[in-house]
Each structure stands twice: as structure tokens, then as C-alpha cells.
Amino acid sequence: MDVIDELRALGTTAPPSTATLDATRAAILEMAHDAPQRHRRWLQHRVLMSAAAMALVGGSSAVVAAAFARTTNPTTMTTIECGIDTYIPAETGNPVLDCYNALEEQGGTVPPLMGWVTPTGLVQVLPTGEHPAVGSTPLPPGFQVDAGVRYITASLGDATGPLLSTCTAPSVARAYAEGQLFVAGLTGWHVRVNAQSGTSACSSYAAVIEPRSTTIELQSTPSSPSGDSGNVTIRLDDRLHAQMVSGPDAACLSTSSAEAIASRDAVSLGIASDTIIISDAGSVGTGPTCATPFVEPAGNVDVVLWQTPRS
């Protein structure tokens, strides 16, 4: 099986491009109008990333992705299939809402949607009345993708997080990942570092959830840090963290206030409104919380806002 075949089998987790969402919305509307013949389409023009144990986006991008198989618990899926052969992050944890929001971004009317768990364990969202693969079951009422796994996906894949933006020693990378697992409440999970030997003294790390396990592997890659001041995604991430997390004047904000700041800062940096998605991901941990922003390093500018405990 070559890489493309594996990607087709496993799906992708990179944020969807505008062209991808346009094509997906057209496909869903076609399905909703009972087109007589349909063919599964694979959209190869987007950034691809395997949902199993490898990260294929160039540079120092990283992702945590749960592989799906017949034994996979769908509540740990970080990817949902929105329509046919188009995969998006499960950011709010509600697959139907995530698919609806992604399609609504493109304008027009989105048909009523329904979620399913397919025989492979993948969560798929289709127009109401459309039939999924044989053996699929409807999503149970109140279904949510696990918040802890979604938080780990966002925190370890953050554009200016230490795994991507600094020269990080394996022991430091492990400690950071273990700290994020603690915040996420995944105390029974483990971290393993796969440090490649090489001449480079600077490594970034791609974090993946090993298939059918509770182990995160940090795969090191000799590279230059992604802290490029000319990269608008990284500049936005730096600004948001300075205002909400680590700056001398950082404030504890509600999610709505953080959304307003993210939108304002994006405009000031010249980011077009149709290329940015700001998502309320929910909360993790106990006790008082504050908004914590994470910006995905690949695809559209994708700002994910969590409420997390702040020491």
C-alpha cells in the first residue's frame, strides 16, 4: 500500500482549505437533492496528513491523531468525515456541529445533517436521510469526541508551542507532553520520545497517538524552529499568547472575549475573514479557568480556544 492509498484509507486531519469546503458543500447539496449516481471523490488538492502514526505535512508541523480501526473508540477520534472523503478536525467535540460550522463558513443554506459511526470506527456526518456505509450506527444522543484528546491535539500541535518553535531536548519535550496530558486529565497515558540521531542540534517534534493505545510518541525531526516572525500564523499565535497566557499584561479572559481579540488581531495582521476559523473548543481541568489559544500551523488559520486551569 503506497502513501496515497494509506491516506485514502485513514483520512486526514489538516484544517480544510476554502477549495475543499466548497467542493464538500457542493457534494453534500448534490447528495441532499438525491442525485441518481454518486462517486466517492478524493480531494488531492489539499494539505494531507495521515490519521495514523505519521505526520506528512512539510516543515515542522505536528499533529496528534487517533488512528481508526474496528477496535477504536470513536470518542477519541480527532478527525471526522464531513460529507464524502473530506476530513476536518473535531474541534468542538460535536461532529454534527463541527461539520455544520465548516460548511456554513462557505455561505448558503446547509441541509439538515446526521452523524454516524461507521464500521471502521470513523465518525461521518451526512445529510439527513442519506445512508452511510452498511453496518454504520447513528451517533448516540449527546455524543462528544473526548475533550482530553482534542486538547492534546491542539496543545501539542500549536504553531508556537515548544515542540515546534524551539530547539527542544528530548527530555524537555517529554516533560512538556506529560504536563499537557495532566492538564487534559489523561493521567493514565504515556509519552515515548523517538529521537532521531543526526548532525542537527535542533529538533522539532510531531506527536501522534499510537494506534489502539494510550501512548503518545514524539517523533523528532532535525529542523529549524518555526519561530519565523514573517509568518502571519505564528505572529498571530504570539500575539494571542502574550495577551492571554504568558505576556506581562496577560489577562484571564472568557472565551467570548478571547474570540473578539483573535478576530481583531487577525484583521490587524491582514488575515482575510474567509481564511480564519475561530473555534470554542470547551474546557478541560477543574477549578477556575482562563482562555488559552492554540493556532494550527497548517492549512487555513485555525484558532482553537480552550478554557484551562491557570496556575
Is residue 5 pLDDT above 60, yes or no? no
pTM for the structure as a whole: 0.71
- Start-to-end CA distance of the chain, whole Å, equals 47
pLDDT of residue 9: 44
76-90, 223-237, 253-267 — which is least confidently predicted? 223-237
Tell me phi and psi for residue 99, to 5 degrees: -65, -45
Strands of 190-194's sheet, edge to edge? 190-194, 215-222, 203-209
Q: In the predicted model, what is the mean pLDDT of the chain?
A: 75
Higher pLDDT, 274 or 100: 100
Going by C-beta distance under 8 Å and a sequence separation of 6 or more, which residues neighbour residue 191? Answer: 174, 177, 178, 181, 215, 216, 217, 218
Summarised one tens digit per residue, pLDDT across range 150-187 is: 999 889 988 888 888 888 888 899 999 999 999 999 98
Give the span between the Cα atoms of 146 and 117, in whole angstroms: 15
pLDDT of residue 234: 87
pLDDT of residue 191: 93
Average pLDDT over residues 115-133: 89
Closest CA to 181 of 169, 172, 190: 190
pLDDT of residue 56: 27
Average pLDDT over residues 132-149: 90
Maximum average pLDDT range among 30-39, 164-173, 261-270, 279-288: 261-270
Going by C-beta distance under 8 Å and a sequence separation of 6 or more, which residues neighbour residue 184? Answer: 147, 148, 149, 151, 152, 155, 284, 285
Contact between 100 and 108 under an 8 Å Cβ cutoff? The reply is: no
Output the CA torsion 189→12→259→250 (10° steps).
Answer: 50
Contact between 189 and 151 under an 8 Å Cβ cutoff? The reply is: no
Percent of the chain surpassing pLDDT 90: 27
Average pLDDT over residues 83-92: 82
Summarised one tens digit per residue, pLDDT across range 46-57 is: 222 223 222 222
Strands of 123-127's sheet, edge to edge? 87-89, 79-82, 123-127, 113-117, 137-138
Burial of 129 (0-12, 13-18, 19+ CB in 10 A): exposed
Summarised one tens digit per residue, pLDDT across range 286-302 is: 889 999 999 876 666 88
- Give the side-chain half-sphere CA count within 13 A for 88: 30
Question: Residue 88: pLDDT band by 50, 70, 90 thresholds?
Answer: confident
114: its cell numbers:
446526521
